[in-house]
Amino acid sequence: MNSGIIGYGAYVPRFRIKREEYLKAWGSFSPRGVEEKSVTGLDEDAVTMTVESSVNALKRAGISSNQLSGMFFASTSAPYAEKLSSSTIVASLDGPSEIFLADLGSSTKAGTAALLSCLDFVSSGRGDEALVGASDVPQAAPSDPLEHGLGAGSASFVTGRNDIIASVEGVHCSSLEIIGERYRRQGERHLKDSGIGAYTEQAFNHALTISVTGLLKSLELKADEFAYAIFQQFDGRTAYDIGRKLGFKENQISPSMTVTKIGDSGSASPLIGLCAVLDIARPGDRILIASYGSGSGSDAISLVVTDQLVETRNRAPLVENYLAQKEYIDYLTYLKFRRMLGAR
């Protein structure tokens, strides 16, 4: 059975910190091409962000939460190491108590993995409509340059078989064993990486080259047949570098590059990029989305936009609306908001 995306929605927290604040505090700001990034308020986490993006996705899908038969939640920064987050999200949406739940994590690829699982759940006939939310507020030590780029945000999608706004044309995935790249040991609070930029970049390029070239080959498509190409966004440059190597042009990539305004939103990053693209895409447009998770793996997905997208678009806020609603904070306030200073 055919399935596709029937609703989408994003959420970006209100607070922002500019790169200049890091320059004042540390004399450097490591992520290339990032001007400012989003910061969660003291009362926000990956779960609360997903609730708002999910409300937006349900509005666009035009369905009630009690029609859902599955909820997939993806995050590397879920508030509990053990306890479902999806159940909290379903309860807050006043969703049904008879529903399949799945929480995914462990890598920034969890978002696309959850989206694909949610699409397969519906196409298998297990349910008519299902919800997927990817949300992250990753954390590293304030003294680690890796911390500079970490932002926050969430993206949700409703999948179904009727009134599809973007249908899946093809999927291709990759797996490589890479050690000592971005990681966090069990029970630790802070992300780490090897600090070797070239090593990380090589792993990223390798995993994405396998998934994306494999996808293009299986669909017999060329890079220029895609209106948009969305990649995992750790900073404002890496996606352009890999895109160029794979034959994509800057104007295919730039509309999804929300990382320059919100920072690295982990498992949500390519999916917030997808929301930004769906905000402007036209019927018939082909969209490539390629995620990356350290360790490592990549999911490449080809989506085709349908006529249905346009009429659902204005039922919820656009990504650019969230980007425009902002309040700047200084570095000291940032440390307190992220509980890196003064928390007991």
CA dihedral angle for residue 65, residue 68, residue 70, residue 72, rounded to 10 degrees: -40
To the nearest 10 degrees (0 to 180), the angle between helices 269-278 and 110-123 is 60
Stretch that binds other proteins, among 2-10, 91-99, 115-123, 146-154 (CB under 8 A): 91-99
Residue from 2, 28, 62, 91 in contact with other proteins (CB under 8 A): 91
What is the DSSP-derived secondary structure letter of residue 200?
Answer: H
Does 93 help bind other proteins (rule: CB under 8 A)? yes
Looking at the Cβ atoms of 249 and 336, the one nearer to other proteins is 336
Alpha carbon of residue 47 to chain centroid:
14
Q: How many CA atoms lie within 13 A of 330 on its CB side?
A: 3
CB of 150 to other proteins, least distance (A): 18
Residue from 5, 10, 47, 74 in contact with other proteins (CB under 8 A): 47
Distances (CA, A) of 76 to 52, 241, 268, 272, 340: 18, 25, 10, 16, 18
CB of 157 to other proteins, least distance (A): 19
What is the DSSP-derived secondary structure letter of residue 132?
Answer: E
Q: Two tokens at 279?
A: 């905000």
Residues 311-330 that bind other proteins (CB under 8 A): 325, 327
Does 187 help bind other proteins (rule: CB under 8 A)? no
Residue from 82, 94, 98, 220 in contact with other proteins (CB under 8 A): 94
Residue from 44, 235, 264, 285 in contact with other proteins (CB under 8 A): 44
- Name which of 104, 103, 118, 106 is nearest 157 in CA terms: 118
Secondary structure tally for the chain: helices H, strands E: 13, 12
Residue from 45, 181, 279, 299 in contact with other proteins (CB under 8 A): 45
Cα gap 330→22, rounded to integer Å: 9
Looking at the Cβ atoms of 136 and 285, the one nearer to other proteins is 136
Does 256 help bind other proteins (rule: CB under 8 A)? no
Residue from 23, 28, 42, 126 in contact with other proteins (CB under 8 A): 42
Per-residue binding string, other proteins, 70-89, x by CB under 8 A, is ---------xx-------x-
Cα gap 4→203, rounded to integer Å: 30
Looking at the Cβ atoms of 93 and 173, the one nearer to other proteins is 93
Q: Which residues bind other proteins (CB under 8 A)?
A: 14, 41-45, 47-48, 51-52, 79-80, 88, 91-94, 325, 327, 336-337, 339, 342-344
